[in-house]
Structure formats: C-alpha cells, structure tokens
C-alpha cells in the first residue's frame, strides 16, 4: 500500500476487520452522465452496495490524493466541476505529482483497488477492442489491467459499441476468465445477449466467490470478468440499439473523434438517439452490478 492512498475511515475499518467492500469507479460520474444525473447515479450506487451489506469505496483523485472512498462533498465535486481528467494507468503518477483531480477508469480503479486490498469492483461495462482496431490499434487499457491485476470486475459485459468477439479473444489470450452470472451468453451492455458465450456459468455469488478464492489459493494472478446481464425490464431491443450504435459510430468517424474521447462521444450520441432510454438502462445495469458485487464481497468475507 502506498503512502499516497487516502482511505476513508469507514473503508479502512471494513478492510481491517475483513468486512465486505466494493470498489466503484468515478469516470461514470465525471464523464458518464450530465449533472445532476451523474450525482444521483453515484449516490444510488453507493446505497445499493449498503443495502446488500457492503461498504462502497468510490475511487478518484482529489487534489492529487488517491481517494479510496468519498463523502458526499467529494462525489458532488466530481459531478459538478468541469474538465476533470480521465485517469487510466498511464496518467496516474502524472496527475498525483501535479496535484490534480481525476476520475478513474476501469483500469485505474482496478489498480487502486488492489493497492488498497479491495477484491471486488463494480462498473457498468468494461472497455475492450474497438471496431476497426485492426487498423487503429485502439484497444482499451482495461483489458491489460484485467490481465495483470487481481480484482474481480462485475459488469454488464463490454460496451456494445466495441468489437465483442475480438474483446473476448483478447481476454482469452491473456488468461482472463469470463464468468457469466446466471447466463451462458456474454451480455452486450444494453442487451442481455450478444451471440458469444462465456467461459463458465455460475448461478450464485457464493459460487463466484469460491472461484475467486480458489484462484488465490492456486496462486493464479490477474483479474476476472463477472458478466452480469442487464435486468430484462431495462434491456433495449437489439435492432434499435444496433442501428443507433452504427449511426453514432459513423458520426464519430465524420467528426474525427479519437482516443479517450470516443466512448463519451458515443454514449452521448446514443443517449440522444434513444431519447434518454439508454441513460435509464445504463443506470439500472450499474445498480444491478453493484448489488451482485456486494453479494460476492460478502461471500468472500464470510468464507475468509
């Protein structure tokens, strides 16, 4: 654990006593939704973790400090201050050294969670291999982090704007297991199915915790993807969302959107093109993932 970590008292007490803790990212606050929807989502995600018996630890950089657990003032700061940097592994040291604010991506949140001793992390969807990566080489740092960092990531699959087949191939190559919670098929963020399978189906938090525990006992390093489909009542129709994504991708290409700006641009256009339905779906799948992550963290705690 580095001296730069500022662990909130509630989170520190939980970690020291072996109580369940769930890490939460902050990019979804600063870059995922407009205000006040972003703050509402952050607060509701934390409440969902508490409802399932776990302590939430939202991770972010505030004034160069790596914060593991934020109070309402910290969450509101991330929600209302414009221009907060998006932090991945490559950015972390630079932003800490310069005393900057930063909203952590999946990769950076995993990295910091492991530093703090948190084993389970809930997010919306992981990044992955972008469409056209054979020429752009645009592959999310989330995948490399999953290959090296010992944290389980509960998600609704990968963001559906990605090349899901190549994303799964990349995870397989790097030895990252994809566990389907109550599903044989890899979910595609807004939809429960994608046409691609998972490595194993597990139907309870206890079964997932047993796999995580066994990996540690065997000395197997790296992360695990826990793929948790969006609740059926919030799923968007395949035909609708596929058409919207194709339109958003074409607009991104037309405007020359690249790198870190791609995903926020696409999510914003998808929100507009679906008349806000994608925002509701996005929030609900996040809450669903947080609840499952809390149950897994609780099962790990009880079986420790």
Query: Would you name the residues annotated as active-site residues?
Result: 25, 159
Neighbours of 242 (CB within 10 A): 15
SS3 state of residue 185: strand
- State the Cα angle at 47 between 45 and 49, rounded to 5°: 75
Asked if the bond preceding 36 is cis, omega within 30° of 0, the reply is: yes
- Which of 298, 214, 290 shows the shortest CA–CA distance to 25? 290
Question: Nearest CA to 195 among 163, 154, 224?
Answer: 163
**Backbone dihedral region for residue 37 (phi beyond 0: left; psi -120 to 50: alpha; all else: beta):** alpha
Rounded to an integer, what distance in angstroms lies between the CA atom of residue 115 and that of residue 243? Answer: 41
Angle formed by the axes of helices 72-80 and 37-51, nearest 10°: 150
Q: What is the largest CA-CA distance in the chain?
A: 53
Sign of the alpha-carbon dihedral angle for 102, 190, 42, 201: negative
| Contact in structure between 21 and 298 (CB atoms under 8 Å) | no
Number of alpha helices (DSSP H) and beta strands (DSSP E) in the chain: 13, 11
Q: Half-sphere exposure of 141 toward its Cβ, with a 13 Å CA cutoff?
A: 17
Place of tokens 């800490």: 96
| Radius of gyration of the chain measured on its C-alpha atoms | 18
């Amino acid at each position: 654990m580095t001296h730069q970590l500022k662990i909130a008292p509630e989170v520190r007490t939980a970690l020291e006593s072996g109580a369940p803790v769930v890490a939460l990212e902050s990019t979804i606050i600063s870059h995922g939704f407009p205000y006040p929807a972003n703050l509402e989502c952050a607060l509701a995600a934390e409440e969902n973790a508490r409802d399932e018996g776990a302590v939430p630890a939202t991770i972010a950089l505030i004034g160069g400090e790596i914060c593991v657990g934020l109070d309402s003032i910290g969450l509101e700061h991330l929600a209302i201050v414009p221009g907060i940097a998006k932090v991945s592994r490559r950015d972390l040291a630079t932003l800490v050294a310069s005393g900057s604010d930063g909203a952590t991506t999946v990769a950076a949140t995993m990295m910091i969670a492991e530093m703090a001793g948190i084993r389970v992390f809930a997010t919306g969807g992981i990044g992955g291999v972008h469409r056209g990566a054979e020429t752009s080489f645009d592959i999310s740092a989330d995948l490399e982090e999953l290959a090296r960092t010992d944290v389980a990531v509960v998600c609704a699959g990968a963001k559906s704007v990605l090349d899901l087949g190549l994303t799964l191939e990349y995870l397989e190559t790097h030895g990252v297991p994809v566990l389907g919670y109550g599903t044989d098929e890899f979910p595609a963020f807004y939809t429960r199915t994608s046409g691609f399978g998972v490595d194993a189906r597990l139907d309870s938090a206890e079964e997932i915790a047993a796999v995580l525990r066994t990996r540690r006992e065997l000395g197997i390093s790296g992360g695990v993807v826990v793929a948790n489909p969006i609740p059926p009542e919030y799923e968007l129709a395949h035909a609708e969302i596929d058409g919207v994504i194709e339109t958003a991708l074409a607009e991104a290409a037309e405007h020359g959107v690249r790198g870190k700006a791609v995903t926020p641009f696409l999510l914003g256009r998808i929100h507009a093109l679906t008349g806000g339905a994608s925002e509701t779906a996005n929030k609900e799948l996040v809450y669903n993932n947080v609840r499952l992550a809390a149950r897994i963290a609780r099962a790990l705690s009880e079986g420790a």
